[in-house]
Chain A
Amino acid sequence: MISFIVNGTSVDVDAEPDTPLLWVIREHLKLTGTKFGCGMALCGACMVHIDGETAYSCVTPASAVQGKKITTIEGLSPESAHPLQKAWVELEVPQCGYCQSGQIMRAAVLLDKNKTPSREEIVSHMSTNLCRCGTYPTIVKAIQRASGQS
Chain B
Amino acid sequence: MTTRRQFLQQSAGFTFAIGAGGFISACGAGGPDSASVTSGGSGAEPLQANIWVTIHPDDSIVVKYAGTEMGQGSMTHVPMMLAEHLDADWDKVTVEIVTTHDTAYGNPVFLNMLYTAGSTHVMIYGEKMKVAGTQARKLLKSAVAKQWDVALSELDTELGVVVHASSGRRISYGGIVADIDIPPDIPEIDDSDFKPEENFRYIGKQVMRRDVPSKVDGSAEYSIDVQVPGMLYAAILRAPVEGERPLEVDDVSAREVKGVTEIVVLPYGIGVVGNTVEATQKGKSRLKVTWSEDSAFRHVSTDTSIAEYVGAAKDLSIKGVAWASKGDATGAIDDAAVVVTAMYTTDPAYHAQMEPLNATASVSDDGKSAEIWVGTQTQSLTIIGAAELLETDEANITLHPMTMGGGFGRRSLLRQQYIDDALLLSKAVKRPIKVIWSREDDLEAGHFRTAAAQYMRGGFDNDGKLIAVHHRVAAPAILETMNRHRWAVVKPKDVITMLGSENTTYDIAHHLAEHIRQPRASRVIAFRGVGTGYTKFAMECFIDELAHSKNVDPMEFRLQLCHDNARMTRVIETVADMADWDRKREPGIGLGIALSGYHKSLSAGIVELSVDSVTGRIQIYKFWAVGDPGRVVSPRNAKAQVDGNIIFGLSSTLSERISVKNGIVEQTNFHNYRIMRANEVPDIESIVLSTDNPSSGVGELGTAMVAPAIANAIASLTGRRIRHQPLTPDIVAAALKG
Contact = CB atoms under 8 A, between A and B. Distances in A.
Interface of A: 15-16, 18-20, 23, 26-28, 30-40, 42-43, 45, 72-74, 76, 80, 85, 88-89, 92-101, 104, 122-124, 126-140
B275 to A, nearest CB: 10
Contacts of B212: 88-89, 92-94, 97
Contacts of A42: 669-671
B108 interface: no
Contacts of A122: 678
Contacts of A35: 222, 224, 354-355, 405
Q: Which 6 A-B pairs have the closest CB atoms?
A: A33-B218, A98-B405, A134-B647, A97-B215, A95-B71, A96-B71
B217 A74 contact: yes
Nearest to B218: A33
Nearest to B439: A38
B216 A88 contact: yes
A85 B626 CA distance: 30
Given A89-B212, A94-B215, A98-B355, A15 B225 contact: no
Contact of B640 (A30, A45, A99, A138): A138
A25 B334 CA distance: 68
A31 B71 contact: no
Given A42-B669, A133-B644, A126 B679 contact: yes
A134 B643 contact: yes
A130 B640 contact: no
Contacts of A88: 212, 216
B43 interface: no
B39 interface: no
Nearest to B650: A134
A80 B217 contact: yes
Interface in B331-353: 351-353
Contact of B216 (A18, A31, A39, A80): A80
B622 to A, nearest CB: 13
A133 to B, nearest CB: 5
Interface in B201-250: 208-209, 211-222, 224-225, 227, 233
B216 A37 contact: no
A13 B216 CA distance: 27
B216 A43 contact: no
Contacts of A31: 218
A97 B647 contact: no
B653 interface: no
Contact of B352 (A20, A73, A132): A132
A72 to B, nearest CB: 7
Contacts of B645: 134
Contact of B637 (A20, A92, A97, A139): A92
Interface string B611-644: 0000000000000000000000000110011011
Interface in B391-419: 403-408
A128 B677 CA distance: 7
Given A40-B670, A97-B405, A132 B354 contact: yes
Nearest to B680: A127
A99 B278 contact: no
Interface in B176-220: 208-209, 211-220
B354 A37 contact: yes
B218 A127 contact: no
Contacts of B221: 32
A93 B211 CA distance: 11
B408 to A, nearest CB: 8
B37 interface: no
Contacts of A98: 222, 353-355, 405-406
A96 to B, nearest CB: 3
16 contacts: A16-B278, A23-B276, A32-B224, A37-B354, A38-B356, A39-B439, A42-B669, A72-B218, A85-B217, A92-B209, A92-B640, A94-B216, A95-B73, A96-B355, A96-B403, A134-B681
Given A123-B681, A124-B679, A92 B213 contact: no
Contact of B258 (A16, A80, A93): A16
A96 B648 CA distance: 14
B512 interface: no
Contacts of A39: 438-440, 669
B450 interface: no
Which of the listed residues B209, B225, B352, B408 has the most CB atoms from chain A within 10 Å of its own CB? B225
A136 B216 contact: no
A73 B405 CA distance: 17
A34 to B, nearest CB: 7
B258 A96 contact: no
A136 B678 contact: yes
B678 A140 contact: yes
Contacts of A137: 643, 647, 681, 684
A123 B678 contact: yes
Contact of B405 (A15, A96, A134): A96
Nearest to A84: B216
Given A97-B403, A132-B406, A15 B278 contact: yes
B220 to A, nearest CB: 6
A96 B356 CA distance: 13
B669 to A, nearest CB: 5
A13 to B, nearest CB: 11
B555 interface: no
B559 interface: no
Contacts of A19: 276, 278
B277 interface: yes
B72 interface: yes
Contacts of A134: 643-648, 651, 676, 681
B436 interface: yes
B28 to A, nearest CB: 33
Residue from A23, A30, A72, A96 having most chain B Cβ neighbours under 10 A:
A96
Given A33-B219, A42-B670, A89-B208, A99 B354 contact: yes
Given A85-B217, A98-B406, A130-B677, 17 more contacts: A18-B278, A23-B276, A33-B219, A38-B669, A40-B671, A45-B354, A92-B640, A95-B71, A96-B407, A97-B220, A98-B353, A123-B681, A127-B677, A130-B670, A134-B648, A136-B681, A137-B647
A123 B72 CA distance: 24
Residue from A16, A38, A39, A89 having most chain B Cβ neighbours under 10 A: A38
A24 to B, nearest CB: 9
Nearest to A135: B644
Contacts of B717: none
B352 to A, nearest CB: 5
Contacts of B640: 92, 95, 135, 138
B70 interface: yes
Contacts of A131: 354, 678
B473 to A, nearest CB: 27
A48 to B, nearest CB: 11
B278 A127 contact: no
Contacts of B70: 96
Given A15-B278, A19-B278, A74 B218 contact: yes
B591 interface: no
Given A15-B276, A27-B276, A95-B640, A89 B216 contact: yes
